[in-house]
């Protein structure tokens, strides 16, 4: 990125006074989704690395005295840490079931035994349909990735139907995301994780959350009353977000301008 671009404000569509609100806030909590927000999607999941300049910009914002930053994802913390080049940054993974704090301390929560049994049952059903290499069993959820899937569509729908049935029996919720479906425990999500971070911030903190996916709607709902939710990809579907950025390239420019204006 040309360093001159850092001084050009990024227009957050839907919120004409966005940067005035950010500048006026004494403290800021900035939450960022990972896939589809920091990197574009890739068929090979571990090739989804942040665009150029993102890591150095995140580090600079992290070093700020007035912005608390974290990345939250449905991926495990270990994957996000690897993709971020082990950047010393606060990471929340598995929709809030895993957390690595800024000092490196790691915490993990577990679903109930009933929910865990349901996740294992869902995993077995997907394997029976030949999706073993496309299934990811995580803490608190299981995902079926559809990118690169060559199975017949009806087979995919059979897995989806089976997971819906398992979810009804085991207190699990089926959600679609960009590139697949996920069966998740009810207890935690990106919204509960964001709320917990916000509760630890000083009074007057402005919460901002940036994400692109259906799984980010829980966080958008949390920030809607006191802060700002920004949807990446434009307003193409119903969302609780009030602001919009076009794509990951605009996110890079957004972060760069944030660093320039309030990052020091």
On the question of pLDDT at 109 being above 50, the answer is: yes
151 vs 38: which has the higher pLDDT:
38
Taking the model in full, what pTM does it have? Answer: 0.86
The predicted structure's pLDDT at residue 41: 83
- Mean pLDDT of all residues in the chain? 90
Q: Which DSSP state fits 13?
A: B
**Which band of pLDDT confidence, cut at 50, 70 and 90, is reported for residue 6?**
low
Output the CA–CA distances (angstroms, integers) from residue 71 to 15, 80, 83, 111, 143, in the order listed: 23, 8, 12, 22, 19
Domains assigned to the chain: 3-108+189-262 (3.40.50.1000), 113-185 (3.30.70)
pLDDT in tens, 179-188: 789 999 988 9
With a cut of 50, say whether residue 3 has pLDDT above it. no
Distance CA 87, CA 63 (A): 12
Handedness of CA 117, 122, 127, 128 (dihedral sign): positive
Q: What is the pLDDT of residue 231?
A: 97
pLDDT in tens, 157-203: 889 999 999 999 999 999 888 778 999 998 899 999 999 999 999 99
Q: Percent of the chain at pLDDT above 70?
A: 94
Backbone φ and ψ for 173, nearest 5 degrees, come out as -115, 130
Question: What is the rounded average pLDDT of the residues 235-249?
Answer: 90
Q: Distances from the Cα of 78 to the Cαs of 50, 63, 124, 196, in angstroms?
A: 16, 22, 24, 21
């Amino acid at each position: 990125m040309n360093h001159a671009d850092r001084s050009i404000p990024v227009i957050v569509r839907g919120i004409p006074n966005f940067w005035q609100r950010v500048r006026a806030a004494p403290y800021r909590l900035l939450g960022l989704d990972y896939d589809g927000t920091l990197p574009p999607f890739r068929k090979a999941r571990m090739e989804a690395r942040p665009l150029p300049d993102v890591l150095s910009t995140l580090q600079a914002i992290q070093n700020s005295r007035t912005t608390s930053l974290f990345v939250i994802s449905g991926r495990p913390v270990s994957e996000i840490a690897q993709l971020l080049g082990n950047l010393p940054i606060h990471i929340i993974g598995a929709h809030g079931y895993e957390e690595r704090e800024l000092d490196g301390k790691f915490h993990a929560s577990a679903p109930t035994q009933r929910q865990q049994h349901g996740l294992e049952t869902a995993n077995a059903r997907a394997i029976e349909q030949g999706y073993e290499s496309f299934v990811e069993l995580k803490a608190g959820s299981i995902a079926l990735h559809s990118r690169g899937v060559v199975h017949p569509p009806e087979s995919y729908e059979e897995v989806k139907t089976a997971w819906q049935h398992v979810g009804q029996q085991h207190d699990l919720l089926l959600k679609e995301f960009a590139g697949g479906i996920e069966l998740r425990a009810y207890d935690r999500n990106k919204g509960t994780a964001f709320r917990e971070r916000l509760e630890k911030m000083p009074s007057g903190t402005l919460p901002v959350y940036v994400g692109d996916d259906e799984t980010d709607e829980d966080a958008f709902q949390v920030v809607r009353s006191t802060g700002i939710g920004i949807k990446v990809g434009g307003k193409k579907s119903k969302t609780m977000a009030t602001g919009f950025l076009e794509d990951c390239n605009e996110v890079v420019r957004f972060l760069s301008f944030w660093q320039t204006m309030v990052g020091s």
